[in-house]
Amino acid sequence: MIKLAIYGKGGIGKSTTASNLAAAFALRGLKVMQIGCDPKADSTAYLHSGKNTETVLDIIRKKGKSAELSELVTEGYMGVLCVEAGGPTPGKGCAGRGIIAAMEMLEEKNAFEIFKPDIVIYDVLGDVVCGGFAMPIREGYAEKVFVITSGENMAIHAAANIAEAVAGFSDRGYASLGGIILNKKNVDREEEKVKELAHDINSEIIGILPFSSTVQKADELQKTVLEAFPESEMADCYKALSERILEACKKEEVKEGGEGCD
């Protein structure tokens, strides 16, 4: 089983990327599970045509330990298994605790042994890397961490912090950094700045996603690009990125992505 985590600053497009990667992996014949670790609980919405699913935390609040696994895990586009950890009531509690509770419940219900996914994707908010948000890195849930960034200064700053956290945990045998995904916003010196980041954190750019109106159109339809526009160039970009990520998960060294979708 391949276990990977996708981190990035809020609003950088990590959930869109994660869902499209999940669809791309599924199209390759892999059984995929995507676990949303963001309190907004919208990671897997586009795999359900825009419908938010009930979160693990909400189900625990209502049913406690008696909750059935079938309630915690739903099936989305291409059979992708979808889980949303959820979060506390706004203004109350710690969002990271929601992730911890969800992971513990999935383990207690033997979710991974029962569903036997080939690949698990953790979609994690990366503005802060502490508490429950660090669980995919530090508790053996993920083996590789991929950081999404654009050339925007705040996104690069967040990516650097995430990489630092991963490096700290990797010394203890936890997840290691798989590489950087550049999700372009067409800002000045974008590729140059992200290449500088990759050099500074001793990593590589494994894929470049161009700024595309196709993604925006799919967003309006509340679907993944691979479902809404399967023959588009952008769909091919996500497929190519999925191949590079599989390579990165299977090898110690990753291959740097070229210009655009090449």
Catalytic (active-site) positions: 9, 14, 40, 127
Neighbour order of strands in the sheet with 81-84: 74-75, 81-84, 32-37, 119-125, 2-8, 144-149, 176-183, 205-209
- Whole-angstrom Cα distance, residue 201 to residue 168? 12
Cβ atoms within 10 Å, residue 159? 27
Q: Is 244 helix (H, G, I), strand (E, B) or coil?
A: helix
- Whole-angstrom Cα distance, residue 206 to residue 181? 6
**Cβ partners under 8 Å of residue 47, min gap 6:** 19, 22, 23, 34, 76, 77, 80, 82, 224
HSE at residue 146, side-chain half, CA atoms within 13 A, is 31
In this structure, are residues 145 and 7 in contact, taking their beta carbons and an 8 Å threshold? yes
**Among candidate residues 209, 210, 211, 247, the one with its CA nearest the CA of residue 4:** 247
**Among candidate residues 57, 116, 64, 114, the one with its CA nearest the CA of residue 83:** 57
Phi-psi region of 93 (alpha: psi -120 to 50; beta: other; left: phi over 0): left
